[in-house]
Homo-oligomer: A and B are copies of this chain.
């Protein structure tokens, strides 16, 4: 299986602190060493760093830990291969274009009985995850051929295709187009919203503490979403199994 890390904020923020702890799980504090990836939205633009090396050994991960890229929507993944070999083509997040927007997707889980034929979007690699992503986008596209609909219309369609896929296995995911940030919990996913009054946070996987009060303004709000909590002195909220949340400006919503 794998682990997920996501971030959604009301102002562009760097993810260096969270990624430091998260990436340690890619071979040091945990066994997710079959590749990793991270996507940063900057407006409608998106950059995606992928590597089939473990996150602790990858020179590219080293840059991501050190170089503060400011973004409002971030999706990261460390991989422990189940379906599909260890190869760049099977690293998450995956990216496609829909309605003139980039969509990015990462999955934690295993879909043992999932089969889907898609024509519009086709998987390049061999993972169940990329096949599921293709089906999600194909379903959205067929439901709304002319462009992105209002969230109230998009949400139930996404919820339905998600439920169909989730019935075939474990399906925790993060999905974003740089505007909305969807998180689906099938078995395990939690989040924390950091906002004023900010405090210090201490990582579980590294002995590192950051005092967010020194780095933020009172208006900042940052949601961090992860498979399991990244810090040991904050209260993380478990998302309920079966729940599809939509984060915007650092706040979770149910539509």
- Which residues of A approach B to under 8 Å, CB–CB? 42-52, 59-60, 62-63, 66-67, 87-91, 95-97, 99-102, 120-125
> Of all chain B residues, which has the CB nearest A60?
B63
> Hey, which chain B residues are within 8 Å of A42, CB to CB?
52, 87-89
Out of B44, B46, B88, B100, name the residue touching A47 (CB < 8 Å): B88
> Of all chain B residues, which has the CB nearest A101?
B124
> Of all chain B residues, which has the CB nearest A95?
B95
Q: How far is the CB of A76 from chain B (nearest CB, A)?
A: 15
Selected A-B contacts with CB under 8 Å, 7 pairs: A44-B89, A45-B87, A45-B90, A45-B124, A46-B88, A95-B95, A97-B122
Q: Is the interface of A mostly helix, strand, loop or mixed?
A: mixed
Q: Are B46 and A49 in contact (CB under 8 A)?
A: no
Out of B45, B47, B62, B100, name the residue touching A122 (CB < 8 Å): B100
The quantity of this chain's copies bound in the complex is 2
Q: Tell me the complex Cα distance, A125–B122, Å.
A: 23
> Hey, which chain B residues are within 8 Å of A122, CB to CB?
97, 99-100
> Of all chain B residues, which has the CB nearest A71?
B88
> Hey, which chain B residues are within 8 Å of A121, CB to CB?
97
Per CB-CB distance, the 5 closest pairs between chain A and chain B, nearest first, are: A45-B88, A45-B89, A100-B122, A59-B67, A42-B88
> Hey, which chain B residues are within 8 Å of A66, CB to CB?
59
> Hey, which chain B residues are within 8 Å of A89, CB to CB?
42-46
Q: Say whether, besides A100-B122, A102-B124, A51 and B60 are in contact (CB < 8 Å).
A: no
Out of B59, B91, B102, B120, name the residue touching A45 (CB < 8 Å): B91
Q: How far is the CB of A134 from chain B (nearest CB, A)?
A: 9
Q: Tell me the complex Cα distance, A47–B90, Å.
A: 12
Q: How far is the CB of A96 from chain B (nearest CB, A)?
A: 6
- Among A45, A99, A101, A102, the most chain B Cβ lie within 10 Å of the Cβ of A45
Q: Tell me the complex Cα distance, A50–B236, Å.
A: 33
